[in-house]
A and B are shown apart, each in its own frame.
Chain A
Amino acid sequence: MSVIAAGPVIPTFGKGSSCVTGDHTFCWDWVRAHWGDTLGPALWQHVELTAIAVVIGFAIAFPLALLAHRYRRLEQPFGIFSALLYTVPSLALFQLLVPFTGLTWTTVEIALVSYTLVILFPNIVQGLESAPDDVIEAARGMGLTRLQVLTRVELPLAVPAIIGGLRIAVVSTVAIATIAAFLLPTGLGYPIFLALKEPTPFKTEIYSAGALAVALAIGCDGLLVVLRRVLVPWASKGLA
């Protein structure tokens, strides 16, 4: 994957507006001027980073969860592993992977995928196990095969939990991906990273990149909520 380097941030030759050189709190003109070369690409990279991590994480977590649901033994060791993973600061994790895979997207993605994995796996398993016992008994008693019970009953009922897990995973990944900027000039963390390195940190850049990151997280969360409402019509109705 190619990495787009962001250009120099603060116009150093007096070309900026008075807002910029005076470093007021927020300069809309800077945002407009640098959308194309800084903020836009950073946002797009961020989306890419997140999307890849979540998709791969899901692709691994889903079959694992199906296995754990069937065989039960996997859950306990996984729980410990995931708790431990979360004590590792993401920055440290990134750095520790560098000797193995270098300063590349792969390194970042490995770390990001690990984090999504430990969120998605327990949530999917929990979703699969959320089908009430009497529903399963009725299904088996009616003559559904094991596979049919899984596909027609357990999976549909697992959708709310799966989407819940996806929401957490996406939002967390958006946040962690900002740290990737410490390794590679990529993502919404990078403009912030650069801005902080300047003797007087440039506020607008920090706020705009930060706001975009937060907006991205909230936006994805909202989309998933809508998706859930579409896929789960029975949850919003009625008495139970």
Chain B
Amino acid sequence: MLADTATMHTFVDAARFIGNHTGLLATKTLEQLALSGAALGIALAIALPLGVVLGHFHRGSTIAIAASIVGRGLPSLVLIAAFLTVLGIGFVNNMVALAVLGSGPLLTNSYDGVERVDRDAVEAARGMGMTGWQVLRSVELPLAIPLIFTGIRVAAVTIVATAPIAAIAGGGGLGDIIVNQASYRLSGVLGASICVMLLSALVFAGLAGVQIAMTPRGVRRTSVIGEPQRREL
């Protein structure tokens, strides 16, 4: 990896591209965020409650494991391509594909978060006369926040970072530029790549910050970052 003048030149070009095309990049970024947001929304609406409920009843561990395998082993390209064949090109198919992608870690983490809450605490709560719903709300959920939030963060970053690939299936966003080297040349591709990276990092940092702020003090641990569970971007 030699950073000779030619290479440096390319990066300078990329920077210039960013400078010249801020409008375009901004539009594309918003497109990407819209797509990601919609996908994340769906995943949150379905996978999170499902995981929480399963974890509360300590059932369906096989589903949780399957979800993590799906999240891990299913190449996003395959997912996007498959949905394209079923739902056609455009916004919807990509939104669904990304939602499925994000659901994996969300389901697994919500399940784990609630399921692993200290059983003694739950039993004590039950013994004090709380109903199942109250136990969930006052005991299990607060204690599960770190893991659940990690799941949200992983899902969000995964979705945002996978969205560029959706460009090939009509998903729009910064990926449109990255896969289109013919029109935008290397400088454009690099410029958009850098933007995608920044976007991803911002989402990561932003959510990490929110997570640290939201975690109840007694439960806070030194590192919020956690281990790379399944990843494929």
Contact = CB atoms under 8 A, between A and B. Distances in A.
Contact of A175 (B161, B223, B232): B232
A80 B162 CA distance: 21
B228 A91 contact: no
Contacts of B161: 87-90, 92
Nearest to A25: B85
Interface stretch (A60-68, A136-144, A178-186): A178-186
B72 interface: yes
A203 B85 contact: yes
A84 B200 CA distance: 9
Interface residues of B, number: 50
Contacts of A203: 85
Contacts of B84: 196, 201, 206
B2 to A, nearest CB: 7
Interface string B190-233: 10011011001101100000000000000000010111111111
B1 A101 contact: yes
A162 interface: no
A101 B7 CA distance: 9
B82 interface: yes
Interface stretch (B46-54, B136-144, B163-171): B163-171
B85 A91 contact: no
Given A99-B186, A172-B72, A206 B197 contact: no
A223 interface: no
Nearest to A218: B73
A89 B169 contact: no
Interface of B is mostly: helix
A214 B11 CA distance: 36
Contacts of A80: 225
Given A189-B77, A213-B78, A214-B78, A172 B232 contact: yes
Given A168-B230, A172-B231, A193-B168, A91 B178 contact: yes
Contact of A119 (B85, B175, B228): B228
Contact of B73 (A91, A174, A197): A174
A201 to B, nearest CB: 6
Nearest to A126: B227
Given A192-B81, A203-B85, A86 B74 contact: no
Interface string A57-90: 0000000000000000000000110111011111
A115 B232 CA distance: 9
B179 interface: yes
A195 B197 contact: no
Contacts of B148: none
Nearest to A100: B1
Given A175-B232, A182-B179, A88 B200 contact: yes
B128 interface: no
Interface in A192-240: 192-193, 195-197, 201, 203, 206-207, 209-210, 213-214, 217-218, 221
Contacts of B201: 84, 87-88
A99 B10 contact: yes
A132 B148 CA distance: 29
Contacts of A127: none
Interface in B1-49: 1-3, 6-7, 10-11
A179 B3 CA distance: 25
A114 to B, nearest CB: 12
B164 A91 contact: yes
Contacts of A210: 75, 77-78, 81-82
Nearest to A101: B1
Nearest to A107: B1
Contacts of B6: 99
17 contacts: A80-B225, A83-B228, A84-B201, A86-B231, A87-B203, A90-B232, A91-B164, A91-B196, A92-B178, A92-B197, A96-B194, A174-B73, A174-B75, A176-B75, A179-B76, A193-B77, A210-B77
Given A175-B72, A175-B75, 17 more contacts: A79-B223, A82-B228, A87-B201, A87-B204, A88-B161, A88-B233, A89-B200, A89-B233, A92-B194, A97-B1, A168-B229, A175-B232, A178-B78, A179-B75, A192-B77, A196-B81, A210-B77
